[in-house]
Amino acid sequence: MSENFVVHTRPPAKLNLFLEIPAKRDDGYHEIDTVMAAIDLCDELQVQRTDDPTVSLQANWLPSRNEIARELGLPTTESPSLADPEDALFIPTDERNLVVKALQAFRQHFGIASGFQARLGKRIPAGAGMGGASSDAAHAISCAAQLHQVTHHHQELHQIAASIGSDVPFFLPMSCENGQQACMGWATGRGEKVAPLAISSDFDPSETYLLIAYPPIPLSTAKVYSALRIPKDPVSSAKFRQALQSNNREQWESSMMNRLSEVAEEITPQVKDLLKSLWKSGLETCQLTGSGSACFGVASNFENASRILNALQSDLTPGVLLRLARITPTAAPIRTERS
């Protein structure tokens, strides 16, 4: 595809509905057993080819940095610069950004001389355990594959994704047996071995409402893992997956867990307080996602979810970002336009 095309996509966030850490590996990573669901809280990503053999990125918060800062109770600024590491809403635009890393890895892998120009609109909080950077990276790889017509090189694209981060492959396209795009995946290994989760045909993922709460305390994944004590008797995700597959809502909700929660709550007591507020609000099941600091709860239906959202908004905002979300496919469609 020529330089005249620009591709657009909307990388979704993820929530870990189940997360167990059965072992620490010799390479410094941990073996994980997790079920993740993609949700319709999405970033916006645009990628195009350039003759200039470099990768450049522009990034901003949506609807704006100051609007997010106001919700989070952070100072607003007259001339926001997201490239300032001192800014609480800092987004790197150099090779620390996984979009840049992924596009560079793609060029290197396929021996491509031309470059890429990318624009990123962020809605997914960073350092939240919601996989925003990983999803952006996976979608950047899919956009590059579309522009260079190598979307059928599944294994190679997976390999590039896994080299960027353990959570990245989850956000590449993956089909269930019925041919539909998967919304949930079972990830093992260090997280890079992903299988689409076949769920009961009675289970309508879009009817599950999830309320997300993010306190502005980014938590480092490495720091949380390093403070973890490996459980003596790890819990398998089998019962949880089985409950999803048979659409036994009571059972899957009661089998949800996150092994990293205790450590994250020790590192940041605000997470513990936030989880208490979520449980008190009437949500059915509440827990941390990934290594935090975002937490979420499951609501029984849209009316309950909206009522609880309103009540939490008046109790916790400003100070906590609250969003209502539904489950969506792990890989967003890619739209191509002439530039």
Ligand X SMILES: C[C@@](CO)(OP(=O)(O)O)[C@H](O)COP(=O)(O)OP(=O)(O)OC[C@H]1O[C@@H](n2ccc(N)nc2=O)[C@H](O)[C@@H]1O
Ligand Y SMILES: Nc1ncnc2c1ncn2[C@@H]1O[C@H](COP(=O)(O)OP(=O)(O)O)[C@@H](O)[C@H]1O
Catalytic residues: 14, 167
Binding site for ATP, residues? 125-135
290 binds ligand X (CB under 6 A): yes
Query: Which among 53, 75, 57, 56 has a CA at the least distance from the CA of 66?
Result: 75
Site string for ligand X, 225-264 (x = CB under 6 A): x---------------------------------------
Shorter beta-carbon distance to ligand X: residue 47 or 264: 264
Closest distance to ligand Y from the beta carbon of 303 (Å)? 30
Nearest CA-CA partner of 37 in 337, 326, 332: 326
* Residue pointed to by tokens 């059915």: 284
Q: Which of residues 98-137 bind ligand X (CB under 6 A)?
A: 129, 131, 134
From the list ligand Y, ligand X, none, partner contacted by residue 29 (C-beta under 5 to 8 A by kind): ligand X
Residue in 7, 9, 15, 16 binding ligand X, rule: CB under 6 A: 16
Contact status: 258 vs ligand Y (CB under 6 A): no
Pick from ligand X, ligand Y, none: which does 34 bind, CB < 5 to 8 A by kind? ligand X
Taking CB under 6 A as the rule, does residue 166 contact ligand X?
A: yes
CB contact burial 21-41 (16+ within 10 A = b; e otherwise) = bbeeeeeeebbbbbbbbbbbb
Residue 221 interacts with ligand X (CB under 6 A)? Answer: yes
Q: Tally the residues of the chain.
A: 339
- Considering only residues 132, 169, 191, 215, which one is a binding residue for ligand Y as defined by CB under 6 A? 132
Amino acid at 102: A
Instruction: Out of 1, 83, 222, 227, point to the residue binding ligand X (CB under 6 A).
Output: 222
Give the residue among 16, 28, 15 at the shortest CA–CA distance from 228. 28
The residue with its CB nearest to ligand X is: 290
Q: Is 133 in the site for ligand Y (CB under 6 A)?
A: yes
Cα separation, 91 vs 97, whole angstroms: 8
x-or-dash string of contact with ligand Y, 99-118, rule CB under 6 A: x-------------------
Vertex 335: Cα angle to 332 and 338 (nearest 5): 160
The strand pair at 257-258 and 12-24 is best described as: parallel
* Contacts with ligand Y, 213-242, as mask; x by CB under 6 A: -----x--x---------------------
- Amino acid identity of residue 20, one-letter, is E
- CB-nearer residue toward ligand Y: 124 or 199: 124
- Minimum CB separation of residue 2 from ligand Y in Å reads 26
Site membership for ligand X, residue 293 (CB under 6 A): no
Binding status of residue 277 toward ligand X by CB under 6 A: no
Q: Are 196 and 175 in contact (CB under 8 A)?
A: yes
* Residues whose CB is less than 8 angstroms from the CB of residue 130 and which lie 6 or more positions away in sequence, other chains included: 13, 14, 15, 41, 124, 212, 214, 289, 290, 294
Per CB under 6 A, 134 contacts ligand Y: yes
DSSP string, 26-38: TTS-EEEEEEEEE
Residue from 173, 191, 215, 216 touching ligand X (CB under 6 A): that is: 191
User: Where are the extended beta strands (E) located within the chain?
Assistant: 5-9, 12-24, 30-42, 44-50, 55-61, 115-122, 184-188, 193-196, 209-214, 257-258, 285-288, 295-299, 321-326, 335-338
168 or 182: CB nearest ligand Y: 168
Binding status of residue 92 toward ligand Y by CB under 6 A: yes
The contact set with ligand Y (CB under 6 A) reads 91-92, 96-99, 120, 122, 126-134, 136, 218, 221, 290-291
The contact set with ligand X (CB under 6 A) reads 16, 19, 28-30, 32, 34, 129, 131, 134, 165-167, 190-191, 221-222, 225, 290-291
